[in-house]
Amino acid sequence: MKGIWTYHELLPEVENRARMSLGEGHTPLVKSRFIGPALGLDNLYFKLENLNPTGSYKDRFAAMALSRFVQQGVKVCLATSSGNTGAALAAYCAAAQLPCIMAIVDGAPEGKLQQMRVYGAATLMVKDFGRSPAVTDQVMTMLGRLAEEQQTSVQISAYCFCPEAMEGVQTIAYEIAEAFDEGAQVFVPAGGGGLTLAVARGFERWKQQHETARHHVVHCVQPEGNDTIVSALASGQMHPTAVPHSETAISGLQVPNVLDGLEVIAACRRSGGTGFGVQDEHVWECQDWLAKKEGIFCEPAGAVALAGVRRALAEGSLAPEQPIVCLITGHGFKDMQRASVMASTSGNAYLANEAGLKNYIIQLITKKNER
């Protein structure tokens, strides 16, 4: 069995009979053909985590979580999600034939909820959950008590809740480490920080097992409307800070609570990395740019890392020849509302006849050639 289990020696022990996989991991690492040269970067790469089985890196988390459930004989999966974790857990629960019940972050895109339901999960959205720290704490307390009664645990893609399952996400770092003969600057989007911490810890774990491995620098990127980590990281402070209410519109990164933030700051600093805050508008620009210039269709959260690269360039923090990796974390089909906005800027017309078709095509070709 492949999937994350290619690296079974670096993962928590799970019996062969219990190892779940839908083919997660081993995602492409694609060199930029346009954006990199346009930014003056010789070696810009995109790690396409949007090509995992359910369309996000969370499949690595779900593969480990459900494998442990199967091994332990757990009978039900309770989880919280803003979308991608829920879709991944729902799919792997279907494969394991376990019921899956999701407490959903308020405002999660309908496309992501539909994906969970397709796999058979029950989705329950709670007002202000994931937006208000107070409401979020109340919901989490209730879920914890219920999970204890049902002899299970609440699945949340954060080390502070599910450290063993998060080790499945560390396989991203193992794949990047194997791909480069020299150290890379790796930009990682963050909400609660679990993914950033997984990548940083993954590189550290790889280095422990491979003494000659190159050193990789990990940078954390957050929307400015949910800046719990990056300002503290960039300014030399030691502690992250919860925000009263997440103001970003970037789905999946609306995490006002401090989850793995403290460990993220320490791990990024150990790697030599820092934090970058980015505006939502710049994220949407990068999402559009990835689609139209590289053929990479990602959800807005998947474009946050590239927005961080642009911010780092503006601050003079990157050298043109350095290998730079952006994690593209989720597929664009997960947020069809945003996809509709992107599509509206492309050429579209209803034409009366063949002559009109010819003239319109010529106009489009001329316009594109002038760009």
Kindly report the pTM of this predicted structure: 0.91
- Residue 132, pLDDT score: 79
The rounded distance, in Å, linking the Cα atoms of 330 and 340 is 17
- Residue 167, pLDDT score: 98
Nearest C-alpha neighbor of 176 from the set 26, 34, 21, 5: 26
CA end-to-end span of the chain? 48
- Residue 206, pLDDT score: 97
The sign one gets for the Cα dihedral 35, 345, 279, 48 is: negative
Q: Would you tell me how many other CB atoms lie within 10 Å of the CB of residue 205?
A: 18
Chain centroid to CA 288: 17
- Residue 255, pLDDT score: 87
- Residue 252, pLDDT score: 86
* 219's tokens: 């940078």
* 69's tokens: 């459930």
- Residue 345, pLDDT score: 66
Domains, the chain, ranges and CATH?
3-55+165-340 (3.40.50.1100), 58-161 (3.40.50.1100)
Residue by residue, pLDDT tens for the chain (371 residues) are 689 999 999 999 999 999 999 999 999 999 999 999 999 999 999 999 999 999 999 999 999 999 999 999 999 999 988 789 999 999 999 999 999 999 988 888 788 889 999 999 999 888 888 777 788 888 889 999 999 998 999 999 999 999 999 999 999 999 999 999 899 999 999 999 999 999 999 999 999 999 899 999 999 999 999 999 999 999 999 999 999 888 999 988 988 889 999 999 999 999 999 999 999 999 999 999 999 999 999 999 999 999 999 999 999 999 889 999 999 999 998 887 777 787 776 655 555 566 666 776 777 677 766 66
- Residue 111, pLDDT score: 81
- Residue 109, pLDDT score: 78
Q: Which amino acid is at 151?
A: Q
Strand 43-48, strand 29-31: pairing: antiparallel
